Every structure is written in C-alpha cells, then in structure tokens.
A and B are shown apart, each in its own frame.
Chain A
Amino acid sequence: MFKLFKPGDLVVFIICFFSIILIFINFYRVPSGSFISIENNNQTKEYSLSSKSVIELEGITIEINSGRVRVVKSSCKNQYCIMQGWISKLNQSILCLPNLTKITIKSNDNNITHDSTAY
C-alpha cells in the first residue's frame, strides 16, 4: 500500500528547506557600514562608526556607540529624529529637517550598494 511519508522524504524536505532558508539569508542580508557622514548646514563631515563619541552640532546632538548612531538631543519641534532611534545598517539615514541635518551610514567598499533592480 501507499505510505504517506517515507524516511527519504524527510531528508529531501530538510535539505530543500534549509537551502531555501540559506538562499534567503544570503540575498537579504543587509551589510553594516563603516563610517557615517553628517550633512549639517551645507557642511559634510565624516566620522568612523567604530568610535564611541558624542558629537554636538548646531541645535542637534548625535551619539555614536558600537557601530550604531542616534540623535540624542534636538531643538526641533516634532523630535522625529530622536524617535527613530538607533540605525546601524548600510544606507540607512536619519533626517532632521528643521536643523538641516542628514546622517547617512556609508561603507568604504563600493561593491555593496543597492541597485535599482533589487526590491
């Protein structure tokens, strides 16, 4: 008679399932960046992400801690930049429009960037 599930099926099932999961992780892993660039009042400054520091600019205070960045204090009304919290992945950014500030995580490696066909 016909048995529903045989032992070899389990092997095929597990191999296929884990290879699909591996492909998923491989394609959708977002790399972390190595430095940040801060644009503030038309001036661009770059800081290393590995350092641990607090940067005070005009009306805004930015904290870098173990590969992550956040805005600690801001003079703006809505405080969206603070509510966004920590960012750590490549190409993520925090904007604070009242203070004309843009913080972006970048990488020295030019090969890992997003392209238009990936979604």
Chain B
Amino acid sequence: MTRQRINIHQIAKLTALAIVLNMFEFFLPSPIYGVKPGIANIIILFAFVKFNFQSAVYISLIRVFVSSLLLGTFLTPSFFLSLFGAFISLLFLYFCKFLSKNFFSLFSFSILSALGHIIGQFIIVRIFIIPDNGIFYLLPIFLLFGFIFSLINAYVLTKVITSSN
C-alpha cells in the first residue's frame, strides 16, 4: 500500500462523493431514530488510508458543513451533533495514525472512528441538549449499531481498495 500525494482536485472529488453518500443516508429509513449506517465514513477512511490524515480532516469537515447547508440543518442542534461527532471521530483517527500498519488495518480504524463519533455525540447531547444522565441508557444501543455498521463499512472499503488495485 503506497501513500500518494493528494491535490485539491482529489479532495474536491472525494468530498463530493462523501456528500452524496451523506444525502443518500439521510433518506434511508431507520427503525430507531438516529441509527444510521454512516456510509460517508467510507470516503473519509479511504482518504486516510490512501492519502493522509490531513485530507481526511478536510473531507470530513467540508462534508459536515455542506450537507447541513443542503439539508437545511445548518446551525441547528443536529448540525452541532454531526460536527462534534466528526471532531471526536477525527481525533480517534489521529491516534490511529500511530498504530502499526502491519498489525492494524481498516477494520480497526473504522471501529474506532465510528465509536468516536457516537461518544462525541453523546458528550454534546449530555452537556447541551438533554442534561440528564438518563440519556446514557441509549449509549449501548448506539454503540452496538455503530460497531456493526463500522464492520460492514470496513468490509466494503476493503473490497473497493482491493478491486481498484
């Protein structure tokens, strides 16, 4: 696996793809409100693995802003949830940078960033939106779904990368 230099065109292309996946995910029906597969994370992980951490940060943050503008949720609580989730997710990805590539693959990165996203959202919900400890009863449900979907995402991305090589 070789890391390539990334230019602004590639970031723009990948961001557009991430926004499309985010919009698609928005229209997917969900049995539990708030449980989403997080397929836009596939693109961020792709950028992280193929290029570098910096490009993943760009794509993630631009995606959050642009998709909130398109969906009309800019500066609403759901926008801040999404933004802070993305921040913590990127923080977890930053620590993934120091993991050895011989022992850890996409599956680890995907699991850690998905769990980071959920933890970040719960922190902001607990502090600002629902200041009650009862909210943590939902935490294991969301963590379990995030865990399952992150495994599926990692599998899809591994297939994409192996077929593109």
Contact = CB atoms under 8 A, between A and B. Distances in A.
A5 B127 CA distance: 37
Contacts of B99: 8
A17 to B, nearest CB: 7
Contacts of A24: 140, 144
B115 A16 contact: yes
B137 A9 contact: no
Given A24-B144, A27-B140, A12 B111 contact: yes
A115 B105 contact: no
Interface in B92-113: 99-100, 102-105, 107-108, 111-112
Contacts of A5: 105, 107
B132 A9 contact: no
A20 B105 contact: no
B135 A117 contact: yes
A117 B162 CA distance: 46
Contacts of A17: 147
Interface string A1-37: 1111111110011001100100110011000000000
Given A17-B147, A20-B143, A12 B137 contact: no
Nearest to B133: A117
A105 to B, nearest CB: 21
B158 interface: yes
Interface of A: 1-9, 12-13, 16-17, 20, 23-24, 27-28, 115-119
29 contacts: A2-B1, A2-B105, A5-B105, A5-B107, A6-B103, A6-B107, A6-B108, A8-B100, A8-B103, A8-B105, A9-B107, A9-B108, A12-B107, A12-B108, A12-B112, A13-B107, A13-B108, A13-B111, A17-B147, A23-B143, A24-B140, A27-B139, A28-B140, A115-B134, A117-B130, A117-B132, A117-B134, A117-B135, A119-B137
Sorted from nearest, which 9 A-B pairs have the closest CB atoms? Answer: A117-B134, A8-B103, A8-B104, A9-B107, A12-B108, A24-B140, A6-B105, A23-B140, A20-B143
